[in-house]
Structure 1
Amino acid sequence: MTDRTDPQGLPLDPASVATLAERGLEFRPASLEGEAGEAYIRAVGHGFLEESISEERVEGFRRAMTAWRSAGVFDPASANPLSPVGTIGVQVLDLTVEPDRTLPMHAISEVTVAGTHRRRGIARAMLTGELRAAKAAGTPIAGLTVSEATIYGRYGFSPATTLAHWTIDTRRVQLTGPRPTGRYDAISREQALADAQHLHDRARRARPGEVGAWPMSWESLLGLLPGSKDTEKVRVVRYTDAAGGVRGLLVYTLKSHERDYAQHTLRVQHLLTDGAEGHAAMWRFALEHDLTTTVTTWNTAPDEPLLWMVGDQRGIQREEMDHHWLRILDVPAVLAARTYRVPGAVRLRVSDPLGLAAGEWVFRVLADGAAHLEPVGSPEGGGDPGEAGEGADGVATVSLDVATLSSMFLGGVRAGTLHAAGRILADPASVRWLDATFAPLVPPLLSLWY
């Protein structure tokens, strides 16, 4: 387990506080208690277009957000000075970078700006401030999941994992995978809590891109907090193997067809499994559910084995999208945290528009897969990433920006793809080596939102 920084004790970035103060705004930690806490929670809800927020839902939000350090930007001249015009929350989570290897990650959430205060630099001040605060605290990487994909690239974030939305025609696919020998049990959401926590913790340690759960995370995801929506529709099935071990949990809802009762849609909310048997068993339960002709899922892994457990792959419609956006803050600490596949070396020249991770290193992969980074320069700020070529030490130079390196890090995006897109400047041999050495042991995935 990596060391963790308590976000509650993490001070706000003084430069961002000063910048916003010059514009007549106050950037300060936000309490979640009392009238001020309710105003903050309602501002977050409104920022994500919640239609109405009941008192019960306010309490649910409060419990879910307790583990996060929340901060707000306040306008003392506004009609409601208790209500923030900008919000942001952070938590330090364990990011899996390779099976059984983790890094502390500055997870960012709750990012909203009121429509009345757009184009005033609030988002920039909050996000750059959090990145500087994380860097100062020694947290080597930041991450977020995004509702709007056009905002965060300018701050050095870039997609490192994808997920896929699947729509499965159960009349067509014809399961050919293994048949379970254990048993299924329908259980309550309350009964599922401990199983969900256990199964997720085991799975996330083996999958790059996953994060450790935070307090109240599974209570929130299972709809156990006050004010949770549509909880009466949520069903849970558990799979136990012949030896009595819990190997799978399926959290799902059913939606009826507008005309034909025998054509329900089963929506997979969460599929948590431990091992191939439980995984196959949970999919078989979903695809063979009575009165159901369609199964949908929102967080399918890029290497999902179900595709090879059906007779007709064309019965599965797949739509891929970006999901986990990462932002490296300390290049040597991050690159040294995982192992690599092929020995070799390049001169790595990294530019950074915010100047937080810019630098030049000889990046060397040893015979045992460990990485060693030797600094050879300290370029400041952003600018052009430079030219490909050979350094004075005879090592080929690879130039890229911090966002590109953040996408490459877990191995989910190939260097060759980024080179073809003009995001990496390097000679062909170096690109081939980067492709080979950054190849992941397991394809990265993040199965949650935060």
Structure 2
Amino acid sequence: MTRRANLIDYQWTYDVFLNFRGEDTRYGFTGTLYKELNRKGVRTFFDDKEIRIGDEITPTLLKAIQESRMAIIVFSKQYASSTFCLNELVQIHQCIKENGQLVWPIFYDVEPSEVRHQRRKYGEALVTHEQNSKADEEKMKSWKHALREVANLKGLSYDPRKDYEHVLVEDVVNQIFRIISRVPLDVAEYPVGLNFRVEKINSLLKLGSNDEVIMIGIYGTGGMGKTTIARAVCNAIADNFDYLCFLDDIGGGSRKHGLEQEQARMLSKILGEKIEIEEINQGVELIKRTLKDKKVLLILDNVDEQKQLKKLAGTCDWFGLGSRIIITTRDLQLLKSHGVGRIYEMEGLNYEESLELLSWKAFKSMQVDDPRYREVVNQVISYVNGLPLALELIGADLYGKKLREWESMLDGCKRIPHDKIQQILRVSYDGLQQLEK
């Protein structure tokens, strides 16, 4: 199950998918929540069917789950007695693992431990399903695993003996509205090949785990699209975090303004207020003190010196549990020296991806329709060797040009490389050790 178009394009059909046991909360809490979300302009999927035929998820429901920006699970007392709810939960859990979908559990008059460890009503319901042959061993295992994993996520609890329901509804609606109001980062005009790579990086991030802090590195030469993919990852997973900072071009910024200004820029973005730092070590202490209990998504882009990492994200214990730190760099050794064990090495575009990107840039079409251009297009792809930046620059230069001009440019590039491509690759080359050069 994938949601490939949405990872990059963000064309969500729904903002929220509501998963709930109808008999428990349809005419109470969940119905009120749905009404208030709609009033706030939040596009919400609310399955209002009283009676179902069978227990399997319909294609329409599956599509609604996949095309929702986030899901809210209302765990009520009789939730686990519905095999339909459990099947929906398994699909939602898959979206967490594969796409980084944000999921909020709401424990409505039940303790999280009841759900997590399948005790009381939850344990009884599962035993009943097993005895009535409602599920085979594999399905029982998937239900229990999904219940345990989702119940471990950060959520909200409601006790009707102590809490006001309208306060919970208001809190949920306000938090969701804040999330969906976030403006995504600009990624790429033509995001060719990004979905597959975003999914690979998401697997390194272990988004379902909130009991640890994880640092990963994205490594590759200039022009491979490290910043582009980091932006795409940020957009895909940002909803899972309480605080967010994409700190672009740290290498250039620290040389131009000083590392203490980069520290201030980072904290200002995370906290949403202007922070001033006069001395680097003061900045280190402020970062540690401010962020140690916050779940942060921090992306440090274009790091090129060890000092930058040490003073911006020294160790994992600077950040609250569940935080993720993503570092993009041309320098693999820099990541290793900092103890970053999870590293994604950027892959060049394959032939099909290269052809698609070049076609979009040079012909404003997904494919080359004119057979006269096919041979020279293949020569360009072979020359570029999967480098996205080169495909974009050469494709843009060739837009609207005749076949003779294509051949002339390609011949010129083979003799004297394209200026802009050479400039960017030169930075990567100059950063290598002599033996690596």
TM-score category (smaller protein) = under 0.3
Task: Give the number of the structure whose alpha-carbon radius of gyration is greater.
Answer: 2
> Could you state the TM-score of these two structures normalised by the residue count of structure 2?
0.24
Structure with the larger strand share: 1
> Could you state the TM-score of these two structures normalised by the residue count of structure 1?
0.23
Structure with the larger helix share: 2
Of structures 1 and 2, the one scoring higher in RCO (CA 8 A, sep 6+) is 1
